[in-house]
Amino acid sequence: MPIANGDDAVTSETSLRAPERGTTKIHLVIEPGSRAIREELGDLLHYRDLLYFLVRREITVRYKQTLLGAAWAVLQPFMTMVVFSVFLGRLAGLPSDNIPYPVFAYLGLLPWTYFSGSVSRASASLVGNASLLGKVYFPRVLIPLSSTLAALVDFCIAATVLVGLMLWYGLWPSASALFYIPLTALTAVLALGVGMWLASINVQFRDVQQATPFLLQIWMFATPIVYPGSLVPERYRFIYDLNPMSGIITAYRAAALGEPIHWQSVGIAALVALAFLLTGWWQFRRMDRHFADIV
């Protein structure tokens, strides 16, 4: 095949021949290389349009072909609040810190429903999107991240019911309710960190998908949702504060009612959430290269 270079021409001939007997065979192994964290963060920004479409698809699929549509975002925490109010508030007589028990319970169920829903969807997100993992490159962390962000829509819809419930019992939302924005961001960080841990492990061990609802149920009763944190003895207070959702939910109630926020508990919750996020991301990056092969 002639190759022209200026006025000169060079003729070369290439032939493929089978390896002769006794020759050494060369095996080429292609392995994924390590990438800097800065490059991966840059990929997240570069693929922001894909994140938007993943979030939109998550929301659309959730309410597609449903009779009630977005009303399901309200029914779950509202009906759970009704059941807790009847059986635990009225019959069992659990205290509620001088707050009407329905308002008390809903203030706890609102962030908890967002957290547990985000973790459940994120933990199963990689297996549910197995068809995407082996086709084209994109940052795999966008999949559990989209599940966490999509659940925010349910949270915002359910939050409107809280305003009506408080007004029904003669309670006016306080100006400190603006702290809901950073508290919700903190809840999202915690949910994403836990979700990345469970999603990466669930690819290899599908037991995680079966165990997640059970673990979340235990976590729920270890969190002051149906009972006030004041019932916890002082000697167990530090262990109690290590549960990040305890500090978050207590801060939600205080912010809505204009009461002092226990910033030490919020600070501990922020540190634990950050630890979950960093270690979850490390675990996710460590197993990322094997997702397409295993799933």
pLDDT digits (tens, 9 = 90+) for 33-63: 555 566 667 777 888 898 999 999 888 888 7
| Residue 126 forms part of a structural domain | yes
Report how far residue 165's alpha carbon sits from residue 170's, in angstroms, rounded to the nearest whole number.
Answer: 9
More reliable by pLDDT, 74 or 247: 247
Report how far residue 153's alpha carbon sits from residue 161's, in angstroms, rounded to the nearest whole number.
Answer: 14
Report how far residue 150's alpha carbon sits from residue 80's, in angstroms, rounded to the nearest whole number.
Answer: 22
* Tens digit of each residue's pLDDT (9 = 90 or more) over 118-174: 999 999 888 888 778 777 778 888 999 999 999 999 999 999 899 999 999 999 888
pLDDT of res. 252:
94
Spell out a b/e string for 102-131, using b for 16 or more CB atoms within 10 Å of the CB, else e.
bbbbbbbbbbbbbbbbbbbbbbbbbbbbee
Q: Give SS3 for 290.
A: coil
| For residue 10, pLDDT beyond 50 | no
Cβ proximity of 182 and 164 under 8 Å: no
| Residue 56 forms part of a structural domain | no
| Residue 62 forms part of a structural domain | no
pLDDT of res. 16:
43
Cβ proximity of 31 and 38 under 8 Å: no
| Residue 134 forms part of a structural domain | yes
Mean pLDDT of all residues in 243-252? 94
pLDDT of res. 131:
78
pLDDT of res. 288:
77
* H or E, element range at 5: strand 2-5
More reliable by pLDDT, 42 or 195: 195
| Residue 31 forms part of a structural domain | no
Mean pLDDT of all residues in 172-184? 89
* Tens digit of each residue's pLDDT (9 = 90 or more) over 91-128: 888 888 889 999 999 999 999 999 999 999 999 888 88
Instruction: Show the domain range for 96.
Output: 71-286
Lowest-pLDDT choice from 126-135, 181-190, 218-227:
126-135
pLDDT of res. 237:
83
Its sign, for the CA torsion 276, 281, 282, 284, is: positive
Number of domains in the chain: 1
